[in-house]
Structure 1
Amino acid sequence: MSEEPAENISGGEDGSGAAAMFEERPAETRAEAVVDELGRQYWQKAYGGRDAFECLVRTILSQNTSDKASQPAHDELMARYGGEGDLAETLAEADRAELAETISGAGLYNQKSKMIRGAAREVVAEFGDSTGFDAYVRDEPPAVVRDRLLEIHGVGPKTADCVLLFAGGRGGVFPVDTHVHRIARRLGVAPPDADHEGVREALERDVPGEKCGFGHTAMIQFGREYCTARKPACLDGLDACPLSDRCDRVGVSPETGDVVDPSEATAE
């Protein structure tokens, strides 16, 4: 069993965000119907308002590790460097070995300490401090911000999209991690051979912008509780999964118990 937290740190009752209300209406796409069901299963949240630079740091720490490991590392970093001064300015001048030791619980700490200090120096050089960076993320066109974030060493599409969503509060942004990538293709709401960017494009096209944020967080939670990589709940019977009636089960055979990546299921 995975030792993930019971709730996704980026959403849910104990996470950030405010309850979002929507007028009840029939979903216009299968992807929207899935997200609506996920919202009923978990939560409907509107996001935004986090400090952009801290969000960037937090998401870098989460790369290739679990929330169970990265959250304490983030807490340690903030305890040591998040005092009265500006966080970006402080981390730009931080001793890298000390920074690496501080975040060691997150895994890949030498690599991540370089990324974080490098990102801090870039933010300070171009935006002055965390406040200037935060204003840029919130106020500039999302596509412009995303392209600029992707220029920072260590920032990939998922990290950039998380900053846009959780700090900038941008609608229409659906970050794609390993859970979302797997589940969207299994469900059949994204092409089975789509890479992470292909899944993002499909979901952002077919899910209303105001629902993308909670679609992201709830899909992650669904992936942890029901649609795991090796043993999705439907192997125990279709009634074990709350989304069974909306799922194409691409790459999953409850009859035989076989589970393969969706791209392999259609390669034959």
Structure 2
Amino acid sequence: MSEDAEPVENISGGPGSGGSMDTFEPSENETRAAKVVDRLGELYWQKTYGGQDAFECLVRTILSQNTSDVASQPAHDALMDRYGSEEDEVDLVDALADAEQAELAETISGAGLHNQKSARIIEIAERVREEYGGEDDFDAFVREEPAEAVRETLLAMNGVGPKTADCVLLFAGGRDGVFPVDTHVYRIYRRLGIAPPDADHEAVREVLEEKVPKGKCGFGHTASIQFGREYCSARKPACLDGPEACPLYDLCDRVGVEPASGDVVDPAETVGS
């Protein structure tokens, strides 16, 4: 994810993002990861997710790769305006499978890597049409089949990585126990000391999905992104300004952060030091 300016509220999890506000009891699971997510739920929002159209969610997440919500959201809106007309009952899978790549690339140009992303979106749309027929059947597959089978299928698509697959499972499938790992989540939970400092993205996901109660993984993901933007940035985390500056200070090992000197490195760089 780039360091572009971000919105005040996380588009994926903020008030206008879809999903239902909910109230969760404090965790009986006393892991530090569970305590972190509970505190983030007090700081931001507690929501349950699911119900987004699966194919549109997949496309939207591809557009968000290697860029910010500020850039990807207008690209998504432009794509839907051109190819996703509900009034004409257009199937988005058909529309994008038949799209001219140059036109699609121009439509989504604001999201960055538009030539690469347009080619991937068309290829995936063709595959979904061939294997599922259209939006509705793909939706049913994502919502009803076992989560691991859906994840495996999504990961086999060109341009779909673990975070993209997990976002589809969460935001479209409404699957409990899915904690997508983006750049912010990856940084935060290694810096906290909850995941090993040299863990890869998949290892961080496994730790979080094991230690965070299943019903809280969704808002844990989105609230962690917001926390990364507001407090736990890559270069200048709030803890450099002292304990009172960060609401998670007492739960954090600050791996790779040296408040006395102001030095901040990736947690992996601390291994063996």
Give the shorter-chain TM-score range. over 0.9
Matched residue SS, 2:158: coil
- What letter matches 1:235 in structure 2? L
**Whole-Å separation in 1 of the counterparts to 2:188 and 2:260:** 19
Number of aligned residues: 268
1:90-131 deviations in whole A, cap 9, x for unaligned? 100000000000000000000000010011001000000011
In structure 1, stretches of 5+ residues that fail to align are none
Alignment partner for residue 229 of structure 1, among 210, 234, 238?
234
How far apart are residue 15 of structure 1 and its match? 1.6
Matched residue SS, 1:131: helix
Partner of 2:195: 190
- What letter matches 1:89 in structure 2? D
**Whole-Å separation in 1 of the counterparts to 2:25 and 2:224:** 21
1:100-139, aligned counterparts within 5 Å? 100-139=105-144
After TM superposition, what 4+ stretches of structure 1 lie above 4 angstroms from structure 2?
A: none
CA contact (8 A) 2:191 2:197 kept: yes
CA contact (8 A) 2:26 2:38 kept: no
1:231-251 deviations in whole A, cap 9, x for unaligned? 000111121001001000000
**Whole-Å separation in 1 of the counterparts to 2:234 and 2:27:** 32
**Scaled by the length of structure 1, what TM-score is found?**
0.98
In structure 2, stretches of 5+ residues that fail to align are none
**Whole-Å separation in 1 of the counterparts to 2:180 and 2:22:** 18
Alignment partner for residue 172 of structure 2, among 167, 182, 197?
167
Matched residue SS, 1:88: helix
Partner of 2:162: 157
Q: Matched residues, percent identical?
A: 69
How far apart are residue 266 of structure 1 and its match? 2.3
**Whole-Å separation in 1 of the counterparts to 2:29 and 2:245:** 24
Matched residue SS, 2:154: helix
Alignment partner for residue 259 of structure 1, among 240, 258, 264?
264
**Whole-Å separation in 1 of the counterparts to 2:4 and 2:61:** 20
Alignment partner for residue 211 of structure 1, among 186, 211, 216?
216
- What letter matches 1:243 in structure 2? L
**Whole-Å separation in 2 of the counterparts to 1:25 and 1:257:** 34
Partner of 2:248: 243
- What letter matches 2:48 in structure 1? A
